[in-house]
Copies of this chain bind each other. A is one copy, B any other.
């Protein structure tokens, strides 16, 4: 389905948004959280401005839960979930959503797999019935599985192999994670995707899909009690999965070596560099540490007032872009990134040295009260504005609840941001922005005679 062709990117974007804008001000909507007797968690976010609802189901399984040699399987199954059940032949669910004027999409990350529909609120029960049906009733034959494998291979072509920056990120992640499956690409390694089978997909589905491994988030024109009633009438009929185990992935050894890599690609128009550090996620951080990393990433690298932008783009004029980001929403450890692209005539090592100097200054001298206040105010304001979007809200809760956080954790995000001190930000920089925890990737133009052929 064309509408699912950007699934992975959407999911990563959602996670990034969630990380910088995890929020629910006390002035926001009242969130209700239920758990059905079969273990399914239901979160309801009322929003009565229009007669529509966003319905999302998030499974607590993603690419990091794949067996070795089966990379891409979580995402492949996401595609195959549209291939029909005994009650609903392939394509019927999508046709119905389309006929009622709705939208749908699906996405896969390392930690979760999600499906969503945006439909008129009086059609909510219909999509819940379809989702409940395919949660346990999926039927797959080679006749539908094998062509879909070609679809995901083509998706890999478009999204990764024809995208130098995506290739760089893939290489950096593979070098950053020495042991944890986060080092594998979510879309999969091509040579492994080529070998994925119906049995692989059904085995993964039976192992991980079930009401007690899912979170349903409904945002929109619905009352909590009514949503709960509909959930009980649909999802509530399913038996809990008997053997869902807590997620336990291989963890990283202590990082020891400063790593770097260079990827040359004929399609690169402008060289750039990206550095990822291995840092804690919200779930794995000590109290306060994840909020300090969020603040730090914003002070260092969000917007034209940030330290990296001011130093590299404005003051030294060595770069045309520079910034930083942090993703707090991972079940296991997470990443903190910095990046920059040199101005004409400037080398990547010069840009890297300028980034290093900015980081060294924060580590040595800390940050000012003024910039801390400014960033806190902006982060919280952005989160308040973002609540205007029903789907954004649903994504915050979905990604939080599938990466080890609770509804309360999401609601307390503004408190945590407000509590960050200058010392905590400086400590976070000193402890976590240690180059031994990082991989620096250079993306350059491949000008070799063979480059044309390779690209």
A interface with B by C-beta (< 8 Å):
68-69, 71, 167-168, 171, 174-175, 178-179, 181, 183-184, 189-192, 248-251, 253, 256-264, 441
Contact = CB atoms under 8 A, between A and B. Distances in A.
Contacts of A190: 253
19 contacts: A68-B181, A68-B249, A69-B248, A71-B179, A171-B256, A171-B257, A174-B178, A174-B179, A175-B175, A175-B259, A189-B253, A190-B253, A192-B251, A257-B262, A257-B441, A258-B262, A258-B263, A259-B259, A260-B260
Given A189-B253, A190-B253, A258-B264, 5 more contacts: A69-B249, A178-B183, A179-B192, A191-B251, A260-B261
Contacts of A178: 174-175, 183
Nearest to A170: B256
Nearest to A178: B174
Contacts of A181: 68
Nearest to A444: B258
The 3 A-B residue pairs with the shortest CB-CB distance in the complex, in nearest-first order: A69-B250, A174-B178, A257-B261
A46 to B, nearest CB: 42
Contacts of A175: 175, 178, 257, 259
A176 to B, nearest CB: 10
Contacts of A168: 257
Given A68-B250, A175-B175, A191-B251, A258 B261 contact: yes
A17 to B, nearest CB: 29
A454 to B, nearest CB: 10
A13 B142 CA distance: 48
A399 to B, nearest CB: 24
Contacts of A251: 69, 191-192
Contacts of A258: 261-264
A171 B191 CA distance: 25
A361 B253 CA distance: 39
A69 B181 CA distance: 10
A259 B258 CA distance: 11
B257 A263 contact: yes
A352 to B, nearest CB: 13
Contacts of A257: 168, 171, 175, 261-263, 441
Contact of A167 (B183, B184, B256): B256
Contacts of A249: 68-69
Most B C-beta atoms less than 10 A away, residue of A68, A168, A183, A251? A68
A425 B189 CA distance: 31
Given A69-B250, A179-B189, A261 B263 contact: no
A377 to B, nearest CB: 36
Contacts of A263: 256-258
B259 A261 contact: yes
Contact of A260 (B184, B192, B250, B259): B259
B250 A192 contact: yes
Contacts of A253: 189-191
Nearest to A259: B261
A199 to B, nearest CB: 15
Contacts of A167: 256
Contacts of A191: 251, 253
A69 to B, nearest CB: 4
Contacts of A250: 68-69, 71, 192
A449 to B, nearest CB: 13
Contacts of A192: 179, 250-251
A258 B441 CA distance: 10
Contacts of A259: 175, 259-261
A418 B189 CA distance: 39
A412 to B, nearest CB: 31
